[in-house]
Amino acid sequence: MVQQLHASLDLFKAKLSRYIAAWVFTSIVGIELVILIPSYYRQEQEQLSKLERISYEVFSPTLVETAQLSKTPAGLLRTVRQNLKPGSVIRGGALYTINGSLLETFGEPPQLTPKSWAGNGMVQARRYQGDRYDVVWSPAVLNGQYILVVRHDATSVQQELNGFIQRIAVLVLIIAVFVTLATMLTLGFTVINPILRLRDDLLAAGEAITKDLSDPKFAAMAVQRQDELGEVTAAFHDLFRRVRQEICDRRQAEANLRAEQEKADRLLLNILPAEIAEKLKQDQTAIADRFEEVTILFADIVSFTELSTKISPIELVSCLNEIFSAFDQLAEQHDLEKIKTIGDAYMVVGGLPTPRPDHAEAIAQMALDMQREITKFQTCIGTNFQLRIGIHTGTVVAGVIGLKKFSYDLWGDAVNLASRMESHGIVGAIQVSDTTYDRLKHKFLLEKRGLISVKGRGEVLTYLLKS
């Protein structure tokens, strides 16, 4: 009951309900007025007819006979006055000849004259104020001898008409209010309230979609309708489900796209340094930077080429993958940049793409850790692998060139000398140039090897990193 009351109050608050109520009320009042205006005039005619009947009673056949016997106007009017009852509505009259000449009057003179009359019967006229009513009696009524104009008091007629108007107005108001309320309630529970529920469902659906909430409980779907509103509600619910599914599919697609993007980014970061990868995303032109001082390490697995003739390619690649994966972990641990692998050679650099002051120390520690790590791996004949490592510090240009199969590489004399430090090194030892020695001698234990002949460089002083 309380819910129905609240629903009714909400119904009257709705703009559409107010529009419908105003339209229905106005329409009913207009229709009633169109119908009842003729009734007003009929009522007026009925009241005036009562006055005419009173006049007719005055001029009964007895009065006509009296007029025929007296043959004089005075006698006729005397007879009329004698037949008037006390409080009669007849206020006066005037007697005219058949030619329209005034013979005699009594009481209040009428406004009508024989000139207003033409033909047989009666001519009726009311004063503007509506309190007097004049009737012309034709010669036919008075035996063809006279014309009599009688004035009546029409005040009661006006009062009756005013009462009639009041009763009709009240009746029209009651009918209009009743029909409007009935229409409001009928339309309210069949049309307006379902529309309001559908509006609330639309708001709830929008809230659920924008804020990613669970599906709301739609009030409009609680009532099964087999009409147009039911079709609209079903269409809305179907649209919501489609939008919801589309959003879910789109989010899933975006999640998959982000996952693939992350995979692509991880793959790119496995190939290129993060800074270089970001630059490459923004501009695919050649990227090259000069670094005044970096430390480069080359490492070569001794006798690995001979080992390749003794095991299958799959076993060879698997073994090489295990060793280089361990080196990759060390490079990440020391925050160094792996450049590439060339066959069984491994190249790593410190001090780029982000410069750091301790690049030589980091590379030295990396080399010592690589020597310890390689002892964990054994050849097919049960012996441990050994490394030949060379290190040099100098100036390089680093970057990415070309359009396909990007790789981050180094160029410059320092790269060549670092490669010579490895190729002219000692198995199981770490050979460094004198430039690198100057940066490590205060923190690491190094042993002077002496001068070695390097192609293109002549005699070069080298050292061996011990610990």
pLDDT of residue 250: 86
**Residue 369 — pLDDT band, cuts 50, 70, 90?**
very high
pLDDT at 310 over 70: yes
pLDDT at 9 over 60: no
Gap between the Cα atoms of 287 and 281, Å rounded:
11
The neighbour count for residue 95, using CB atoms within 10 Å, is: 24
pLDDT at 68 over 60: no
pTM (two decimals): 0.51
pLDDT at 425 over 70: yes
Gap between the Cα atoms of 137 and 18, Å rounded:
57
Mean pLDDT of 266-278: 69
pLDDT at 23 over 90: no
**Residue 385 — pLDDT band, cuts 50, 70, 90?**
confident
pLDDT of residue 268: 67
Mean pLDDT of 106-116: 79
Average per-residue pLDDT for the chain: 78
189, 195, 199, 202 alpha-carbon torsion, rounded to 10°:
120
